[in-house]
Amino acid sequence: MFVGLMLFLALMLFAGYAKLSTVILNRILARPLPKWAIAAIEVPQLGLLPLYAVLLIQCLFQHGLWLRDRTWFDLTPFQGLLIVAGIIGFLLLVRSTWIFQRYRPPQCERAHTSRLVDFRHSSEAQTWQAIYLGPGPMRGVALLPGNQQFTLEVSTKTYSLPRLPSEWDGLSIVHLADTHFRGAVTRAYFEAVCDQAIAMQPDLFVFTGDLLDDAELIDWLPTTLGRLRGKIGQYFILGNHDWYLDSNRVRAELEHLGWLDLSSRCVEVRPPNSTNSAPALVLAGDETPWMGTHPNLNQTSTDSFRILLSHTPDNIQWAQSQQIDLMLSGHTHGGQIQLPLIGPVYSPSRYGCRYASGVFWKAPTLLVVSRGISGREPIRYLCRPELTKVVLRTMSAQ
Ligand SMILES: [Fe+2]
């Protein structure tokens, strides 16, 4: 009985410490840090978890708090710190679980359909592993039981937005995010994802950054994103993983393939086959805090419907202040691993896991955060990769 209670208490405090350390880690990783600094923070954070567990068990069983003749005041200051950290973290864990469980799509959502494309059922003569898995140590990670990296969720989500002009009613945008070309997942996978995107026939294709982790794989672009053509165009920004590499080379290659760079700027587009009197739509791009500046929207009409591509959802407050109507983001990957009941844990954002993925109405802005298509590590649990078509309707449309 005593041992069981102590172990239960230790488990709660350990979960609390793990939560507290990731809460801090997520906020630190939201900042524009070089790769070496990230490794210097991530590795000790993981290493301290088992150390905390050992110290905590030693502390609890040494003192036998509450159930023996010791009291909390017998703890050393260091042991007290361990306990307080665990309690604070546990309260944060309860709070984030509550927020995760209470998530609902915004009221402006009019329809949501989705289907799964399971790449593990190949119709080819080769096995799916031979087609979609590259060599290297990550191959074993990709093959872990239950890994959802190769089951893509293809969704169509429709929203009514108050400022959408009637001329733009039905505007459709296919949003791609976080491809992270690295080699563990092959070019064939991304080509197959792009086939799915092409079949959605949107007005606009947008890509919100983190294209690659291996500069040599830039030659995958012509047969992947290079094939996408929207009726109005295809626009991109880059992300922090592109910033680690030669981002100018990536920009040049994407532009060569017909994509328009929205980094730190905005453009006005008009409906296809329309006259100049049709209201323009403003498309803007934001790669801060890693590259460039916020786009200057002062030269565009305040009446224009505004769409912002921002790699991180952390720019949501700035978007609200600029009367952005729709903001499309990625970066956080939905946490890649979501725990049952609790939800995501790792999410490099100053909001922690709050905007790890999903759609949020933050008036006057609708924020759409994609789970992305892949990641640095090809591992996903309760967090499938995502390809989404966003359809916008006016408030009065039937
Ligand atoms: Fe990413």
CATH class of 109-393: alpha beta
Output the CA 203–ligand 1 centroid distance in Å.
Answer: 25
Residue 95 to residue 341: CA distance in whole angstroms: 12
| Cross-strand partners of 389 | 156, 174
> What pLDDT was estimated at residue 8?
85
DSSP percent split of the chain into helix, strand, coil, nearest 5: 35, 20, 40
> What pLDDT was estimated at residue 156?
98
- Which segments of the chain have a pLDDT < 70? 1-2, 63-70, 72, 122-125, 275-276
> What pLDDT was estimated at residue 75?
78
Residue 336 to residue 144: CA distance in whole angstroms: 14
CB 308 within 8 A of CB 285: yes
Output the CA 30–ligand 1 centroid distance in Å.
Answer: 12
Q: Which residues hold their Cβ within 5 A of ligand 1, which is an ion?
A: 178, 210
* Omega of the bond leading into 145 within 30 degrees of 0 (cis): no
Output the CA 120–ligand 1 centroid distance in Å.
Answer: 23
Output the CA 375–ligand 1 centroid distance in Å.
Answer: 6
Output the CA 231–ligand 1 centroid distance in Å.
Answer: 27
Residues 6+ apart with CB under 8 A from 43: none
Report the length, in residues, of the chain: 398
> Domain map of the chain by residue range?
2-101, 109-393
> What pLDDT was estimated at residue 251?
97
CA-to-CA separations, 280 to 128, 152, 161, 271, 327, in angstroms, rounded: 45, 34, 16, 8, 17
Residue 138 to residue 185: CA distance in whole angstroms: 9
Exposure pattern of 350-370 as b/e (b: 16+ CB <10 Å)?
bbbbbbbbbbbebeebbbbbb
User: What's the number of CA atoms in the CB half-sphere (13 Å) around residue 327?
Assistant: 32
> Which uninterrupted H or E stretch holds 94?
helix 77-101
Output the CA 330–ligand 1 centroid distance in Å.
Answer: 7
> What pLDDT was estimated at residue 64?
66
Backbone angles phi, psi at 3, to 5 degrees: -60, -40
Output the CA 279–ligand 1 centroid distance in Å.
Answer: 34
Output the CA 230–ligand 1 centroid distance in Å.
Answer: 23
CB 25 within 8 A of CB 33: no
